[in-house]
Structure 1
Amino acid sequence: MKVRDAMTHDVRITNPDETILQAAQTMANLDAGILPVGDHDRLVGMITDRDIAIRGIAKGRGPDTKVRDVMTSEVKYCFDDQEIDEVCRNMGNIKVRRLPVLDHSKRLVGILSLGDIAVAQGNGAAGEALKGISRHGGMHSQTP
């Protein structure tokens, strides 16, 4: 099965100059914990609810803090025509639960989550990826 057959197609993007309050409100409206960050049709980062909490609020930053100040700028991604099993193994290896999905023009076309994979495949691939993600790997850091 291809990534495009399982991914979430309806994706909202936030801008690096928006505030973390605006990003958090968008996440709340979508019932999502992650947003891609785009600048002029280019994916430049990802922001999660955890980024807002750990890199923002926990460090004394307020709701007017810019997304760019707390986002993760190193973006891991997959392509829409990749096989899900391959991407799932990669997600376990790089320890992520969600990946932005790009087409070969490097345009954002969706988000793939372990939940999407579990619903689409039901063959245990998502569970195997989660084992790799959840395995203790030493010190964890929220430092960009």
Structure 2
Amino acid sequence: MAERELTVEQADALIRSPRFAVLMALAGVTGVVVSLAAWCFLEGTAQAQHLLFRDLPDDLGYDDGPPWWYLTVVLALGGVVVGLAIERLPGHGGHVPVHGFAAGGGPPEGLALLGVVLAGGDDRLRPRARPGGPADRARRR
């Protein structure tokens, strides 16, 4: 059985409650921490690229850029790190693209299939406004 819909007064009371304020503060802190972590990851990636492909070859005396073998070694080590992460970390690297989208369940059936067809299918299958009505006239302009 579906829950009753909140009245305006109940929604106002919920928003003004201390528990809701604590929840919003916790969500804000979580957002700031996650944003900071994402920024640190991106900045660390950029700094690692500068270090490995510009600064380190210059320090080793390769003023015209790194030699081909240096690039091969750096990229191979990166591949080893990614391979170990996929093998050792939980999740085994995530979704396998070869298997297609596997969100769960099978293809849509029944009314769900009808909804998919009406939402994104052929335009001739969509319900139309009353012929000659305001929506039909606006569409024909």
Per the TM superposition, whether the score is higher than 0.5 is no
Q: Which has the higher strand share?
A: 1
User: What TM-score results when the alignment is normalised by the length of structure 1?
Assistant: 0.20
Q: Greater relative contact order: 1 or 2 (C-alpha under 8 angstroms, separation 6 or more)?
A: 1
Q: Which has the higher helix share?
A: 2
User: What TM-score results when the alignment is normalised by the length of structure 2?
Assistant: 0.21
Q: Which structure would you say has the larger Rg? A: 2
